[in-house]
Amino acid sequence: MVNDDAMTDPVLFDLQGGVATITLNLPERKNSLGAELVEALATRLDQAVGDPKVRVIVLTNTGNTFCAGADLKSANPGADGNGRTFVDVFKIIMAAPKPVIGKIDGHATGGGVGLVAACDISVMRNDAKIGFTEVRLGVAPAVISVVCLPKLRKADANELFLTGKMFSPDKAAAVGLINQSVPPDELEPAVGEIVDMVMKGGPLALGATKELVQKVPGLELDEAFAWTGARSRELFQSQEAAAGIQAFQDRKPAPWDPAT
């Protein structure tokens, strides 16, 4: 179901077969992060997270730019304002118990790179460019560093943050900022393959796995083993695990698998 106001809605929403596609839709502004787009993006993400029919969220764009970062034409670029903020968007993506897949169909700069990095898995067309351009504007990649630094070596972060240079998706994949760099005509099938594989995982298991990735690196060793042990026991005792294990023993697809 596609939003009826697709021509004017800054962020589109489409739900097909358990996959919610959220599309940044202000190509004339290069999908820059003005208040209108940020508010709409947070709302659409909330919609996808709260809908039990949604298994996977795909984040993509119209136009040749995925996201150009802060809206520099606004009266006060970078200010939070009175509505939802870019931090809210990050928090929703990171806390979502559903995988968020970035289908990066164009350039990404500044805050747009943060949006790329916030996704659980990102695939980018290899003829686009990406870059932390903040220093060339006299600012720093401050907020987005929270989601970007965990994916980068310190040496790579220093190089890319301090030079402000644009670089290729191949480089972005090599440093761990994205997962894949693919030719434009392979973007759709590459993302589709990832979505198909992810949907073979149990819904509760996928949420728990995202939680592990977010939480475990910040725990002390004993605390990490204690927390993950308790979480593992909880999951093994769930109805989802019982159904998945039974399906495995019966050599059948799990009940949540679209192949069922």
| Structure-token pair, residue 37 | 């787009």
Rounded to whole angstroms, the Cα distance separating 190 from 198 reads 13
What are 232's two structure tokens?
């593992």
Q: Dihedral of the CA atoms 64, 111, 79, 30 (nearest 10)?
A: 0
Helices (H), the chain: 35-50, 86-95, 111-118, 145-148, 154-163, 169-174, 187-198, 203-215, 221-236, 239-249
CA angle 111, 112, 113 (to 5 degrees): 90
What is the rounded CA–CA span in Å between residue 96 and residue 237? Answer: 22
CB 133 within 8 A of CB 191: no
**Contact (CB, 8 A) for 45 and 90:** no
Q: 60: how many CB neighbours lie within 10 A of its CB?
A: 21
* 190 and 180 Cβ atoms separated by less than 8 Å: yes
> Starting at the edge strand that comes first in sequence, how are the strands of the sheet with 121-125 ordered?
11-16, 19-24, 56-61, 100-104, 121-125, 180-182
- pLDDT by position in tens, the chain (length 260): 444 445 579 999 999 999 999 999 999 999 999 999 999 999 999 999 999 999 999 999 999 999 999 988 765 555 455 678 999 999 999 999 999 999 999 999 999 999 999 999 999 999 999 999 999 999 999 999 999 999 999 999 999 999 999 999 999 999 999 999 999 999 999 999 999 999 999 999 999 999 999 999 999 999 999 999 999 999 999 999 999 999 999 999 999 999 87
pLDDT of residue 260: 76
C-beta separation of 133 from 164 below 8 A = yes
The amino acid at 135: V
